Structure formats: C-alpha cells, structure tokens
Chain A
Amino acid sequence: MSANQFQNPVVRWIDHRLPIFSFLNHEATEYPTPKNLNYFWNFGSLAGISLVIMIITGIVLSMNYTAHVDYAFDSVERIMRDVNHGWLLRYIHMNGASFFFIVVFIHIFRGLYYGSYKAPRELLWMLGVVILLLMMATAFMGYVLPWGQMSFWGATVITNLFSAIPFAGEGIVTWLWGGFSVDNPTLNRFFSLHYLLPFVIVGVVILHLVALHRFGSNNPLGIDTRGPQDTIPFHPYYTIKDFFGLSVFLTFFAAAVFFFPNFMGHPDNYIPANALQTPAHIVPEWYFLPFYAILRAVPDKLGGVLAMFGAIAVLFILPWLDRSPVRSGRFRPIFKIFFWVFFADCLVLGYIGAMPAEGIYVVIGRVATIWYFLHFLLILPILSVAETPRPLPQSISTPVFGGSGAMAGAAAAPKRKVE
C-alpha cells in the first residue's frame, strides 16, 4: 500500500513527509509471515511485552525508591505499605523479571530446536544472545536494589567473581564497588545502571526486529517461504494469535503476582542487608541457577568464571557449530534426541545450582556442565555431517507427508503419536 492510498487526508499529509504510516503498514500489517507458525512463535512478542511491563512498572517504582543503604529497604517497604497500589507495582516488577526469563528461555529453546540461528539469521540470533546478557546484568542489579540480605550477599559474591581475572582482578572489583566493599556507591551505580540497561535492551530489540524482518520468521518446517501461498499478512492473523497468547500469559503471570508473589523470591531478602551476618546459603535467583551450577562445577575460580561466561559465549558461535543445512529438528532424528537431552541437562544444571555444593551434587553438576559444552562443541558439529536428515517438504503449502502435516506435531517432536 503506497502513501496516497491512505483514506484519511491528515494521515496522507503526514505520511508523505514522514512515512511512519507506510512503515507500520509494511512492517506490522502486510508483513508476510509463514502461515504454519506454532504457539512457540508467540514467545518473541511475549518477551517484548514483558520488557515493556518491566520498564513501565520500573519507572513508577523508581519514583518512590531511594538508592541509599540506609533508606533503600525502608523505601521498598514504604512502596509495599503506603504507596497507592505500590504492592501491586512491586510484585508485578518482581515476578515480571521471572516471567520475562521464562518467556525468553522458551524463546531460546524454540530457536535451538527449529534451527532459527542458521543462515541467514545468524546476526538475528547473536543480537538475541546480547539481549540475554543485558537481561542478566539488569536482573542481577535489580535484585540488589531492595538491599535485603540476598541483595547484599548476592552482589558480594557475583562482583567478587571478577577478582578471578589475573593481575587486574582486585583492582577491577574495587572499581566496580566504588570502594573496598559492597556499599553505598555500589548501590548507587547499580541503580543507575539498572535504569539505563533496559533502554539499551530496547535498542538491541529494535536491531533484533530489523534483522528479523529482513528475512522474516523461521517456521516449524525450517524451510524458506516460496511465495505468497506460503505466507499470510501479520495482521490480523498473528496480531490476534499473539493477543490470545498474551491473554494466556497474563493469566499465569497474574496468578503468580496475586497469589504467590514471593514464591520465586527468597525469604532472606526480607531481612535488611547486614554486612556482618552471612546467610546460610547464598543462592541467586532461579534464572541464574544453571549458570551458577556451571560456575561452581569448575574447581578453579578463574576456570569457573570462564566456564560460566563460556556457557553464553558458545551461543554466539552456535551458527557455525551446527553446520547442518536442515534447520528444523523435526527432520533431524538424531539431533532431536540430543536436543531433548540438552534440555534435560539444563534443567539438571538449574536443580544443581539450587543445591549446596557438596557430595553427589558436585559430581552431577560437573557431568552436566561437561555435557552442556559437549553438546555445542562436539555433538552438534559431528551431527552436522554424520546425520542423515529426513526428506524436506517441497514448500510450506505442500508438506511432503500430506494430510495435516504443516501444523500438527510442530512441537510434538518427542511424542510422535500426536501426529
């Protein structure tokens, strides 16, 4: 639709000078989208909406929050007690972080299963990994702000990781802290960065979307769209599907906010920070647990830090580790098995991260960590050449095994009976 096709003369006048309406029409309405996307493709828009929810509640919370070691805890309690609906804002923000990660993790595993990282979407995938890193930094610093016991000790443990860097480590840690321990300067800069980084995420999300719209969405078959018969306009088909997904997501989210708001938190964070009293178990938020398990699996401090960052770094080079030309796991019988093993491995790592680092947990943690890296560095490259993929359909509209192939069983990989 070109600019002069808009009915409204004001819209037409503006669009001629600033083609914002043409842009929206092109990228959000006409935008051709594969017609066979399953519900796992809902999680990208859900992640975007989660980010918006976090930014809005965060801005309002910050109007009532005091970033000072003597007042931070009290100001959060004031939000909970005296600010109108402050409890709602805070619980949405608190649980929103967890739900943001749930959504993003599903989004990532979807990309892993359907090969969404493969050419020509490598940069799209890498920008996503950047977003994940920024999210982790933001979430970590946000958890410090209430200045409870877990805030303080979590900050101490995580910032101390940088002391593992040879030679410069101690200096870097002092520089991060703005002093010689986690203290008021640390809290102030964490607040500043916690406010800044979400907007950096917005910037990277925009790049993520630009890269996405270059080639359009991948799809459960993992084959390119071959023409108009394979696609449908984004609006109304995927706007309504995303809206339905959003309603369901918000139902789960609201259940947590209104009925289990502290379920994913730690009770110790309702104790004001005390530098003289270490909690019995210092555990990070649940979404860091797999990485925490990898950190602790390596007996050497520097090695542990490298392994933890390596767990993310390996995602950056994933498009070049998995060289199989077939994207979707549906047509890769062996890959499919290893994908689910890898998924289970991540759950195991999360469980181990929550357990004390002793006895059998250490052994399981090490095996799971080794498997994590083996999957990327050995199994995927070998499968790229060793596996014989099943025949691919000609196109999205003519699936190779006829019938209802295109939609059914998209996510049903492990349970073939569903097909």
Chain B
Amino acid sequence: MKKLFLTLATAVLTASFSNVPVLAAGGGDVVLRQADWSFSGPFGTFDKASMQRGFQAYTEVCAGCHSMNYIAFRNLADLGYNEAEIKAIAAEYEVVDGPNDEGEMFTRNGIPADRIPAPYPNELAARAANNGAYPPDLSLIVKARANGADYLYSLLTSYEDAPAGTAVPEGMYYNAAYSGHMIAMPQPLYGDDVEYADGADTSMDAVAKDLVNFMAWTAEPALEERKRTGVAVMIFLVLLSGLSFGAMRFIWADVKKTRA
C-alpha cells in the first residue's frame, strides 16, 4: 500500500514535471554544447576566481553594449573582492547623480552602492547604436533562457561561417546555437580578447566559461545560500518524516491490532 502510494505519487509528480522541459525548449534545430558547471547540482557553489575573470571579460568585452542593471558594485563582494577593492572598482566609473542644490545633474565617481552604469541611457539609444537591435540586459540572462548556462556558453562559442547556400543578411551573423541562426550580435570572443592578471587561459572557450560563471551569479546571487540551506532543510525533513512515521506506527498500533 505504502509502496504503491509512493509509486503513484512519483508517477503523478514526474508526469506533471515532464511537461516542463518541453515548454522550455527553444529552437528545435539547435544542439547545445554542455559544460560541467560548478554551480549545478545540489551542492553546487560558484567558482569565485572564474567569476572575477568573467566580470573582467564582461567589463572589457560585453559592457560596451550590454547593461547589468540589477548588479551594484557592493554585490561584487560575492566574487571575493574586499571593501577597498570594491571602492576602487566603483571609482573607475562615472555616475550621473543629482539634482544638486542648484538643481543641476552632475557626474561623480561611483561608490559601492551604485548599480553598474548602463552603456546607453535608454532602449532607443541602444537600438540606434546597434542597427536597430537591442542588446538585452545581462543580469538575468541565464535564467531568462532555457538551459541558460549551456545556452550562453554555446552562443558565445558557436559563431561559424554560414553553410553554403545560406544568405546572411547585412548586419546579421551566423550562429549555430541561436534559434534561426541569424543573430544581430557580432562575434564577441575570438580568443585572447582579455588579459587575465592571474595568467588563466584566455582561449575563447575558457573566457566564455568565465563569462557564464559570472552571469550565473548575476542571475541568481542567492544560489549558494539556497543550496546550502536546502541541504540542511532536506536532512531535517527526512528525519522528521522518519520520526513522525515512527510516532504514527506507535499511536496506530492498537487500531491495527483490533483490525487484524
């Protein structure tokens, strides 16, 4: 009876869950490259060194067009930077503030409480500068795409020459991982696009992974805390289930006896 109930419950659960990947599937003709991400799995954690490199690559390669609106400099503490380093990073940016006592807007150096300034003042400016295409904000991009981490890793590394006979329109590029293959974003990484202070690998593949590690964090900064809490909660609940099962058997013992 119990076993049967469990099987049924799992059947119902898996049946309802199994709809979801189907829903989430993107373009049908795209096969994603998969990587072994440190943040996946129940004990997953972020790779801080890689995130710092990813932040550098974002700043030097992506930030010219893509904003990161939900990230403040103070959040960079999660990457392992200390307060002084964060202040120094923030101070490299100019931030519009105001109005001051004269009613004028002014620029000042960034402070840790500032969000990372966006490259364009608004969407229209961004479109005007990019042939009408809008470079999306990258804060949530890993969660906003199906299989986000693998997808972005694939997207960054799948620029190719279009197959013979495929016409690529002016201002578009061929990307094997993009749904429909015609993407308005020019190839961002070629290999050796950045110079890492820690001497890490700067091949296209490695930098793409660093960027994904960074963007996985910007999409879900609480991921490590969530999984850590989850492990403790699961242990508690499994123990609680066992204890309450024992208590139930104990309390029900007399009823079971009279029935048999």
Q: State the A residues within 8 Å of B (CB).
A: 35, 38-40, 77, 80-81, 87-88, 91, 98, 102, 105-106, 232, 236-237, 240-241, 243-244, 247-248, 250-252, 254-255, 257-259, 261-264, 266-268, 270-271, 280-281, 283, 286-287, 289, 347, 350-351, 354-355, 397, 404, 406-412, 415, 418
A237 to B9, CA, bound (A): 23
Chain A residues with Cβ below 8 Å from B234 are 251, 254-255, 258
Chain A residues with Cβ below 8 Å from B2 are 39
In the complex, besides A81-B222, A258-B229, 13 extra interface pairs with C-beta distance below 8 angstroms are A77-B139, A87-B226, A102-B12, A232-B255, A237-B255, A243-B247, A267-B143, A267-B146, A271-B140, A347-B15, A350-B15, A406-B259, A409-B1
Chain A residues with Cβ below 8 Å from B247 are 240, 243-244
Chain B residues with Cβ below 8 Å from A418 are 1, 4
Pair B241/A397 contact, Cβ less than 8 Å:
no
Pair B143/A251 contact, Cβ less than 8 Å:
no
Pair A39/B24 contact, Cβ less than 8 Å:
no
Q: Is B164 positioned at the interface, with any CB of A under 8 Å from its CB?
A: no
**In angstroms, how far is the closest chain A Cβ from the Cβ of B72?**
9
A284 — nearest CB in chain B belongs to which residue?
B23
A325 to B222, CA, bound (A): 56
**In angstroms, how far is the closest chain B Cβ from the Cβ of A407?**
7
**Contacts A236-B251, A411-B8 known; A259 to B244 CB distance under 8 Å?**
no
Chain A residues with Cβ below 8 Å from B70 are 77, 81
**Contacts A77-B140, A412-B4 known; A266 to B241 CB distance under 8 Å?**
no
B141 — nearest CB in chain A belongs to which residue?
A270
> Which of these, A39, A77, A237, A244, contacts B244 with CB under 8 Å?
A244
List residues of B (39-74) whose CB comes within 8 Å of A's CBs: 42, 70
Q: What 1/0 mask marks residues of chain B from 1 to 33 whose CB sits below 8 Å from any chain A CB?
A: 110110011001101110110111000000000
**In angstroms, how far is the closest chain B Cβ from the Cβ of A346?**
10
> Which of these, A38, A247, A289, contacts B19 with CB under 8 Å?
A289
Chain A residues with Cβ below 8 Å from B13 are 102, 252
> Which of these, B219, B230, B255, contacts A35 with CB under 8 Å?
B255
Pair B260/A241 contact, Cβ less than 8 Å:
no
A313 to B99, CA, bound (A): 59
A285 — nearest CB in chain B belongs to which residue?
B23
A241 to B252, CA, bound (A): 9
> Which of these, A236, A261, A287, contacts B226 with CB under 8 Å?
A261
Q: State the B residues within 8 Å of A (CB).
A: 1-2, 4-5, 8-9, 12-13, 15-17, 19-20, 22-24, 42, 70, 75, 136, 139-140, 143-146, 148, 179, 219-222, 225-227, 229-231, 233-234, 237-238, 240-241, 244-245, 247-248, 251-252, 255, 259-260
Pair B20/A286 contact, Cβ less than 8 Å:
yes
Pair A251/B237 contact, Cβ less than 8 Å:
yes
12 examples of A-B residue contacts, CB within 8 angstroms = A81-B70, A106-B12, A237-B252, A240-B248, A257-B230, A258-B226, A258-B230, A258-B234, A259-B42, A262-B143, A270-B144, A418-B4
**Contacts A237-B252, A244-B244 known; A355 to B8 CB distance under 8 Å?**
no
Chain B residues with Cβ below 8 Å from A254 are 230, 233-234, 237
Pair B244/A247 contact, Cβ less than 8 Å:
yes
Classify the interface of chain B: helix, strand, loop or mixed.
helix
**In angstroms, how far is the closest chain A Cβ from the Cβ of B169?**
19
Pair B17/A264 contact, Cβ less than 8 Å:
yes
A280 to B227, CA, bound (A): 32
Pair A88/B143 contact, Cβ less than 8 Å:
no
**Contacts A39-B2, A244-B241, A251-B241 known; A355 to B20 CB distance under 8 Å?**
no
Pair A241/B248 contact, Cβ less than 8 Å:
yes
A235 to B1, CA, bound (A): 23
A268 to B15, CA, bound (A): 22
A366 to B240, CA, bound (A): 46
The 5 closest A-B pairs by CB, nearest first: A258-B230, A270-B144, A247-B241, A87-B222, A244-B244
Chain B residues with Cβ below 8 Å from A351 are 19
Pair B23/A283 contact, Cβ less than 8 Å:
yes
> Which of these, B22, B220, B241, contacts A354 with CB under 8 Å?
B22
**In angstroms, how far is the closest chain A Cβ from the Cβ of B214?**
16
Chain B residues with Cβ below 8 Å from A415 are 4
Pair A410/B1 contact, Cβ less than 8 Å:
yes
A281 — nearest CB in chain B belongs to which residue?
B23
B8 — nearest CB in chain A belongs to which residue?
A411
Pair B22/A247 contact, Cβ less than 8 Å:
no
**In angstroms, how far is the closest chain A Cβ from the Cβ of B218?**
10
A253 to B245, CA, bound (A): 18
**Contacts A404-B260, A411-B8 known; A266 to B23 CB distance under 8 Å?**
yes
A38 to B248, CA, bound (A): 13
Pair A411/B143 contact, Cβ less than 8 Å:
no
A351 to B17, CA, bound (A): 11
A346 to B145, CA, bound (A): 29
Chain A residues with Cβ below 8 Å from B24 are 266-267
A347 to B238, CA, bound (A): 30
A18 to B143, CA, bound (A): 54
Pair B222/A80 contact, Cβ less than 8 Å:
yes
Pair B19/A88 contact, Cβ less than 8 Å:
no
Pair A258/B227 contact, Cβ less than 8 Å:
yes
**In angstroms, how far is the closest chain A Cβ from the Cβ of B142?**
9
Chain B residues with Cβ below 8 Å from A88 are 226, 229
**In angstroms, how far is the closest chain B Cβ from the Cβ of A101?**
8
**In angstroms, how far is the closest chain B Cβ from the Cβ of A216?**
17
Chain B residues with Cβ below 8 Å from A267 are 24, 143-146, 148
Chain B residues with Cβ below 8 Å from A240 are 244, 247-248, 251-252
Chain A residues with Cβ below 8 Å from B139 are 77
**In angstroms, how far is the closest chain B Cβ from the Cβ of A214?**
24
Chain B residues with Cβ below 8 Å from A80 are 220, 222
Chain B residues with Cβ below 8 Å from A262 are 143
Chain B residues with Cβ below 8 Å from A236 are 251
